[in-house]
Chain A
Amino acid sequence: MFGYVRPFKPELRMKEYEAYKAVYCGLCKELGRQYGIFARFTLSYDFTFLAILSMAFQKTAPDFSKIRCLINPLKKCSACRQNGVTERIASQAMITLYHKCRDQLLDENWLARLPVSLSFPFVRWCWQKARQKEPQYDCFAADMMQNQQLAESRLSGPDPAAEPTAHFLSQICETLSDDPDQKRVLARFGYLLGRYIYLSDALDDLEKDAKKHRFNPFLQRYTVSELKSVSYSPAVESIHGTIAELEKAFSLLNLNDWQPIAENIVYYGLKQSLQNILRKKEKIE
């Protein structure tokens, strides 16, 4: 996952911001506890959202405590953790990191993959530890990577190319609730969330992929300059359509205390991430 699922801070209330930050800090601390200090630097916003979504379906309230932050040890900050959830998400984040790194090792040229190569033994060690705790997640992730390669080798357009990531997150989200109706909503929500993440990443990497002659779903029908001349509208419309459908599924979810933060992320954060991607492209020009 790539950090596109994040809150839009100006619309967050203070208590929501504090709670969001506490979940982030709790996860960071847990990564350090289980996988060592370097693992803490790999934490992404996406997994924070997944943690919030998981906590929302727990029957008990999470624990808040004060911890010292690694970045600023003089200041104490709140950390939110929930038995079962925090450990699980930390392991899942490590498994995802491993599969992503492995993919990069296959992909890039020698120099570009040097940093990944150097850190790979450590990532692999984390993965071996994590997959014993989360064997099902590892299976899902391995399937996703395999299907992704297949879809890319077929030079697929946006729909089939996004399918592996979308299907993966659909499977993960579906397991979060025991209620059959919420499961159905979560499956569609997860699908669309995965689709959003994949398409956003594809739009973000457009120029890089074109330069390196790598697969990109939006470059199957258009060139980079064609897309640029229409302000990337084919890609933006795909992502907008995905966000709108995502909102519809989201409104059928019952997230209790976590509803306002999740609403902020879904209604504002996703669109903001898209704007950030587009703004970055303007700056490059």
Chain B
Amino acid sequence: MTDPYKVLGVSPSASDEEVKKAYRELARKYHPDHYQNDPLSDLAEEKMKEITAAYDQIMDMRRGGRSGCSSDAGQSQFSDIRRMINNNRIAEAEELLDGVPQSSRDAEWYFLKGSVFYTRGWLDEAYRHFNQAVQMNPNNQEYRMALQQMSWQRSHGSNPGSMPGGGMYCSPCNFCTSMICADCCCHCMGGRGCF
């Protein structure tokens, strides 16, 4: 395996701050947003993965070397997990999240766990966790946005402003159209729609 310090272009004696800074600069350079519709976007993505893996490896090595700094490590562990989720490394992120003891599960933990569920398509659990995150930290804009979006979806069955034709069609709940539909369901397919 290649040397993670080489990948990030820093010396092994660099401080955590310096490693983080190098990582951020490279990540910005290879960010997928820069490569949208670019024929080389897959290569940029590869590069991005390599950088993230190197950064995670360095941070893991350094954290393993230290002992007895639980609260601090808890915080930085969450930012790593956040990055993993952003890079679609869901299984790893979930494993780390589940390893966090109950006592240190704060609003951020619930938000990240909710994000993992959301990515997997476990929408009920995602909603429950976002809700808990907002309850624990009502001032966080990001948590509130996530919860609001899901609340809208759960009550409307759609996303704000997503209907084709910009709302020209009438609602399928409309009584008259429903009657037509009930009628058509009976005869259009010979009345044998399901098993």
Chain A residues proximal to chain B, CB less than 8 Å? 2-3, 6, 8-11, 17, 21, 24, 41-45, 69, 71, 97, 100, 157-160, 163, 166, 188, 191-192, 195, 237-245, 247-248, 251, 263, 267-268, 270-272, 274-276, 279
CA distance A274 to B127 in the complex (A): 21
Chain B proximity of A119: nearest CB distance (Å)? 11
| Known A10-B180, A241-B150; contact A274-B195, beta-carbon cutoff 8 A | no
Among candidates A9, A69, A245, A268, residue contacting B123 with C-beta atoms closer than 8 Å: A245
C-alpha spacing A42/B162, complex, angstroms: 35
Q: How far is the CB of B167 from chain A (nearest CB, A)?
A: 11
Main secondary structure of the interface of A (DSSP, over half): helix
Known contacts A192-B121, A274-B157; can you find 18 more A-B pairs with CB under 8 A?
A8-B172, A9-B180, A9-B184, A10-B177, A10-B180, A11-B169, A159-B122, A163-B122, A237-B154, A241-B127, A244-B152, A244-B156, A247-B162, A251-B162, A263-B164, A267-B163, A268-B172, A271-B157
Q: Which 4 A-B pairs have the closest CB atoms?
A: A3-B194, A244-B153, A240-B157, A159-B122
**Quick one: CB contact mask for B155-195 with A, threshold 8 Å, 1 for yes?**
11111001110000100110001101110110011101111
> Would A272 and B181 be within 8 Å (CB), given that A3-B194, A44-B193 are in contact?
yes
Q: Which A residues lie within 8 Å of B55 (CB)?
A: none
**How many angstroms between the C-alpha atoms of A263 and B165 in the bound complex?**
11
Query: What's the Cα separation between A14 and B177 when bound, in Å?
Result: 16
| Size of B's binding interface in residues, CB under 8 A | 36
What A residues does B155 contact at CB under 8 A? 237, 240
A157-B124, A159-B125, A241-B153 given as contacts; is B188 within 8 A of A44 (CB)?
no
Q: Is the CB of B195 within 8 A of A42?
A: yes
Chain B residues within 8 Å of A, Cβ to Cβ: 117, 121-125, 127, 150, 152-159, 162-164, 169, 172-173, 177-178, 180-182, 184-185, 188-190, 192-195
- Closest chain B residue to A43, Cβ basis: B192
Partner among B124, B157, B182, B195 whose Cβ is within 8 Å of the Cβ of A244: B157
Given the interface pairs A8-B181, A9-B180, A243-B158, the reply to whether A2 lies near B122 with Cβ below 8 Å is: no
Which chain A positions have C-beta within 8 A of B154? 237-238, 240-241, 244
Q: How far is the CA of A245 from the CA of B190 in the complex (A)?
A: 32
Residues from chain B with Cβ under 8 Å of A163 in the complex = 122
Cβ–Cβ < 8 Å partners of A245 in chain B: 121, 123, 153
Q: A42-B195, A44-B193, A159-B124 are in contact. Are A240 and B172 (CB under 8 A)?
A: no
Taking the nearest CB of chain B, how far is it from the CB of A247, in angstroms? 6
Residue A243 contacts which of B127, B157, B184 (CB distance < 8 angstroms)? B157
Please give the distance in Å from A27's CB to the nearest CB on chain B: 11
CB within 8 A of B189: which of A21, A42, A272?
A21
Q: Which residues of A contact B117 (CB under 8 A)?
A: 159
Give the chain B neighbours of A263 by CB distance below 8 A: 164
The residue in chain A whose Cβ has the minimal distance to the Cβ of B127 is A241
A244 touches B159 (CB 8 A): yes
What are 8 of the A-B contact pairs (CB < 8 Å)?
A: A2-B195, A3-B194, A24-B189, A159-B123, A244-B152, A245-B153, A251-B162, A272-B178
